[in-house]
């Protein structure tokens, strides 16, 4: 029997789905609390670690003597100590592409919610204020706008497809440029740098992993490059955007609004200054978290574990640390 240590505390509905698709010969122990001590305890005799938003620290890897593989549910691996995993020859993989649809849907929803000031009007209507006339002057339509996508992986490309009915002009920036044929098929235009993307876009949607190279890629220096009246949507990682610079841009008129699903510290302080702004829509890092997708992410994760056991290669796009695993 192979043991999987699941670090996230899931709701009963999610647990039921994961247990229903658990491969034969595997057991699943789910952490009872979000503490380092609990993670060390359940990983100590585990063959696999399964994690979504919970950290996998050096201390966990040091004590997991049987560990064969770390599987991330999703794509952001910034909370996993990949250096320690590499040192110990432990493979680390993500589930590339599996969250693309729900995250792209969520990014689109945030664009519309910010442009139409949805939380603001909802709150005021519940308090007895009918703001129809006022909102005609203050809200905007997404149709025909220029949308800049910062980070052009699976999620960015899916967002392109969802934006087609809005007749948007779509720009993108990424260090990896797809072929001209793919650009033409998706109907996108390449920007040579971040500043040009910011200056040209009515809406900027961020879809970057958090790395040393992307940390605070939107910062105090370049945030002034934004087109006046633009909005920012971030469904990637909080550290990619400087919250201090963002707050300043939202209060001095550089940005008209923002939709923020991710924060520099999670969960953030309830005194976070962004929470006091009426031109900001905030959500608790939930863009990829839909019940419909649990089975897809779970199956992808378990299939990777079976590949590691069977000596079959993992898909290159999933591999963060090759370790002792085979790679396509």
Return the active site residues.
237, 266, 285
Give the separation between CA 79 and CA 243, rounded to whole angstroms: 19
DSSP conformational letter for 48: E
The residue among 182, 194, 114, 180 whose CA lies nearest residue 154 is 182
Query: DSSP character for 22?
Result: P
Supply the DSSP string of 94-124, one letter for each residue.
Answer: --TTTTHHHHHHHHHHHHHHHHTTHHHHHHH
Report the C-alpha gap between 173 and 190 in whole angstroms.
6
CB 258 within 8 A of CB 232: yes
Does residue 267 have a cis bond before it (omega within 30 degrees)? yes
Q: In a 3-state reduction of DSSP, which class is residue 33?
A: coil
d(CA 80, CA 135): 44
> 175 CB contacts (<8 Å, ≥6 apart)?
none
Local structure of residue 244 (DSSP, 8 states): H
């Amino acid at each position: 029997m192979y043991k999987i240590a699941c670090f996230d505390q899931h709701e009963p509905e999610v647990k039921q789905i994961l247990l229903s698709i658990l491969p034969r010969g595997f057991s699943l122990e789910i952490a009872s609390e979000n503490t380092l001590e609990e993670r060390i305890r359940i990983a100590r005799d585990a063959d696999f670690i399964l994690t979504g938003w919970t950290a996998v620290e050096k201390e966990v890897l040091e004590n997991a003597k049987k560990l064969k593989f770390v599987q991330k549910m999703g794509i952001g691996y910034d909370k996993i100590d990949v250096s320690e995993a590499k040192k110990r020859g432990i493979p680390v993989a993500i589930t590339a592409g599996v969250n693309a649809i729900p995250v792209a849907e969520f990014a689109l929803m945030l664009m519309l919610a910010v442009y139409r000031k949805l939380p603001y009007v909802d709150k005021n209507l519940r308090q007895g204020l009918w703001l129809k006339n006022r909102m005609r002057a203050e809200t905007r339509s997404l149709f025909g706008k220029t949308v800049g996508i910062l980070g052009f992986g699976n999620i960015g490309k899916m967002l392109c497809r969802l934006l087609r009915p809005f007749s948007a002009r779509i720009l993108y920036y990424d260090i990896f440029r797809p072929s001209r044929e793919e650009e033409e098929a998706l109907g996108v235009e390449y920007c040579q740098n971040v500043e040009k993307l910011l200056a040209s876009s009515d809406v900027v949607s961020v879809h970057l992993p958090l790395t040393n190279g992307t940390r605070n890629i939107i910062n105090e220096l370049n945030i002034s490059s934004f087109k006046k009246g633009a909005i920012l949507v971030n469904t990637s990682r909080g550290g990619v955007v400087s919250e201090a610079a963002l707050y300043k841009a939202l209060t001095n008129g550089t940005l008209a609004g923002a939709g923020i699903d991710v924060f520099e510290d999670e969960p953030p302080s309830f005194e976070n200054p962004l929470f006091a702004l009426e031109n900001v829509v905030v959500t608790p890092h939930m863009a990829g978290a839909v019940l419909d997708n649990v089975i897809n992410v779970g199956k992808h994760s378990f299939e990777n574990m079976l590949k590691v056991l069977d000596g079959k290669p993992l898909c290159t796009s999933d591999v963060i640390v090759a370790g002792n695993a085979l790679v396509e």
